[in-house]
Amino acid sequence: MKVLASLTRLAAFLACCGVLASAASAQQYPTRVVKLLVPQAPGGATDVFARKIGQLLSERWGEPVVVENRAGAAGVVGTEVVAKSPADGYTLLVTYAGSQAVNPSLYPDLPFDSIKDFQPVATLARTPFFLIANPNLAAKDLRGFIELARQRPDVYTFASSGIGSVNHLLGEMLKTETGIKILHVPYGGVAPAIAGVIAGHVDTAFSSAPSVLGIIRGGQVRALAVSSAERAAVAPDVATIAESGLPGFDVNPWWGILAPAGTDMAVVHKINGDVGEILRSKEMTEFLAGQGAEPFVTSPEQFLTILTTDVAKWAKVVKAANVKLN
């Protein structure tokens, strides 16, 4: 019994030492360059948010925080890089629901598990998507566009950044819930999709607020509706999709930071706390508001619940829309 008691005390002592060492490591973190990997091309909302949070984290930590874009396969390429990186807190993924929560339903042979291979660290923001149209389109709002599409099935088009992207799925949701027939035109990214709408090559597209606010205000495109349950403060004159005859429609995707699975939770909570304080700052709040977004602060545990729920939610959308990659 004495031997057992001694072993128990030794185990407790070693566990305590491990906790203390972990806490000390988190207090010192970071001691070198931290990389924020963005699995989308430059210019989109993910890239915009990553660069701002990277700048403010670098100022706070006194260490460089660099952003690296690794676009490809709807976010799969860059996401895989992080999944297979050392779980030391120095390679982090900045992504959004459109990649992390949708891809499991589109790619049956993903080289990673969107939940199990990652440790959720911190959410950053939420922002709605606008349905934009070429200014020459006869419709002035979503109701008008639906009426046009019903009169001329398979004539009008909507662009997306690629098959299975959130802006593609939003178009499919619109088709399913209204019964209209409009043609999907996938592009190789959000920037060329928006350019297609501006040039009149396609009639409409869904895109996140940060990507299109400037061109909406500049009159290069017209906003027909917004995807969130409530009107966006940055565009109060644009009606919601729910107001336009589709009650209950509410899509307001999140952006966040994830680390490879197995990352020290003390480091995870350190990053989460620092990000949370930045999100509550006047500078970040005003920056996000200017992008049509709002700060979204959660704990790592809450973020995991959100991610898990969204994987299941988008799986239903993909199945209902019968989206196929080939």
Asked if residue 8 belongs to a domain, the reply is no
Contact 184, 193 (CB under 8 A): no
Asked if residue 7 belongs to a domain, the reply is no
Asked if residue 10 belongs to a domain, the reply is no
Residue 55 and residue 145 in one domain? no
Question: With pLDDT > 70 as the criterion, what percentage of the chain qualifies?
Answer: 92
Asked if residue 203 belongs to a domain, the reply is yes
What is the per-residue pLDDT for 165?
87
Using 50, 70 and 90 to split pLDDT, how confident is the model at 13?
Answer: low
Asked if residue 144 belongs to a domain, the reply is yes
Taking only the tens place, the pLDDT of each residue in 295-306 is 999 999 999 999
Residue 97 and residue 136 in one domain? no
205: left (phi over 0), alpha (psi -120 to 50) or beta: beta
Residue 35 and residue 88 in one domain? yes
We report the CATH number of the domain holding residue 204 as 3.40.190.10
Asked if residue 248 belongs to a domain, the reply is no
Taking only the tens place, the pLDDT of each residue in 36-51 is 999 988 888 899 999 9
Nearest-angstrom CA–CA distance, 168 and 205: 8
Residue 120 and residue 269 in one domain? yes
The three-state secondary structure class of 227 is: coil
> Which residue segment(s) compose the domain that 63 sits in?
23-127+253-321
Q: Token pair for residue 286? A: 């005003």
DSSP label at residue 130: E
Contact 304, 101 (CB under 8 A): no
Domain count, the chain: 2
Strand pairing report for 183-186 and 157-160: parallel
Residue 115 and residue 187 in one domain? no
Nearest-angstrom CA–CA distance, 100 and 121: 14
Strand pairing report for 34-38 and 65-69: parallel
Question: With pLDDT > 90 as the criterion, what percentage of the chain qualifies?
Answer: 78
Using 50, 70 and 90 to split pLDDT, how confident is the model at 162?
Answer: confident
Q: Report angle CA 282, 39, 259 to the nearest 5 degrees.
A: 70
Residue 24 has pLDDT above 60, yes or no: no
Asked if residue 160 belongs to a domain, the reply is yes
What is the per-residue pLDDT for 52?
97
DSSP label at residue 221: S
Query: Which of 320, 192, 307, 304 is CA-nearest to residue 253?
Result: 307
What is the per-residue pLDDT for 45?
86
